[in-house]
Amino acid sequence: MTANQYGFDTLAIHAGQDPDPRTGAVVPPIYQTSTYAQDAVGAPRLGYEYSRSSNPTRDALQECLAAIEGGRRGLAFASGLAAEDTLLRTVCRPGDHVVIPNDAYGGTYRLFAKVAERWGLDWTAVPLDDIDAVRAAFRPGHTRLIWAETPTNPLLNIADIPLLAGLAHEYDALLAVDNTFASPYLQQPLALGADVVIHSTTKYIGGHSDVVGGALITADTGFGDELAFHQNAMGGVNGPFDAWLTLRGIKTLGVRMDRHCDNAERIAGYLSEHRAVSQVLYPGLDTHPGHEVAAKQMSRFGGMVSFRAAGGAEKAIEICNRAKLFVLAESLGGVESLIEHPGQMTHLSAAGSALEVPADLVRLSVGIETVDDLLADLEQALG
């Protein structure tokens, strides 16, 4: 199934998920097995021999991921960072260089600064919405990858995907886009020129805060084969039950994202008028510096809202601690609303670096609850 044949929600429900041919089960079975009987030496049945290499439940998820991102090859992993690590070690070698956002996710920063750098990979952090800064950071012959997030985590900056793709390809490099915040429902980077898409499927794709996972999707079959080789060789795959939970979450991705966006738009507007808030970071606001680019490459603006507390770091922490309906927790993208202080939670690993986030920043993952209840909770939390 491809996007040329069917709409997004049809793909989300059906791609890779034909009824089981033996029993007629509408939902793909959980193949909770580590190994498979072979018909003869060198003749595995349907190609299955060991579940690190392939598993029917994971295959169903991978086919669905490729379909909803408009790609040809989807690969599922045990976490978003397992996907990131596999991508880096597929594309790069010691001595190579990567350009990353100067406000990247804290776990991505940690992977580059504390793991990949020791392996011999160099990197430069720049604002990806400044194409001149990106060009200046390039090292011809050594820069293999532009690593983009759009919107970024947690400052919700916007990168121009076609512009970055053109620059990367000019230097014979690749563009990777972390599409976790937008989800495939709101943005499809491969259609805009990206070479590979990254997801923490833990977030909007899974959508229910009950499973951890990651994904890589590409439209290039040969590149997909390289990634698949490393997926198997490095072994960071998800188990069949995790794949099944993620596949279940995908079925409602479209309808969930519509509500996430509805609620986030209301909340961003409310916060923009509140005296306890000095700045609201949401690409759906026409005051956001990336609003016009986001409007061109996203169908809507997502469910993530960040804001800066007028009273500084102490006030930001107080707001997080006072929230009741917004659960104080890391992660994002689930049906329930979450609140966090990035500086001391998800982005603590970036403290003291060029990627350190403002101490007065609060990040909201706006869920799908009744929006008036969410607004009331923010009113009492803001004081």
φ/ψ region of 90 (left if φ > 0, alpha if ψ in -120 to 50, else beta) reads alpha
Task: Retrieve residue 366's tokens.
Answer: 């706006």
Q: Catalytic residue among 52, 248, 251, 259, which?
A: 52
Annotated active-site residue in 85, 103, 129, 178: 178
- DSSP H or E segment with residue 110: helix 106-110
In angstroms, the CA 381 to CA 383 distance is 5
Interhelix angle 221-234/80-91, rounded to 10 degrees, is 110
- Write the CA distances from 220 to 66, 117, 227, integer angstroms: 11, 28, 11
The verdict on whether 52 is a catalytic residue reads yes
Active site residue 203: yes
Q: DSSP per residue over 359-381, as a string?
A: TTEEEEE--SS-HHHHHHHHHHH
| Known active-site residue 275 | no
Q: Which of 183, 210, 193 is nearest to 301 (CA)?
A: 183
Among 73, 110, 144, 203, the active-site one is 203
Is 89 tagged catalytic? Answer: no
Return the bridge partners of 176, or none: 147, 196
What DSSP line would sit under 124-161, residue for residue? Answer: EEE-TT-HHHHHHH--TTTEEEEEEESS-TTT-----H
Among residues 31, 36, 48, 105, which one is catalytic? 105
Active site residues: 52, 105, 178, 203
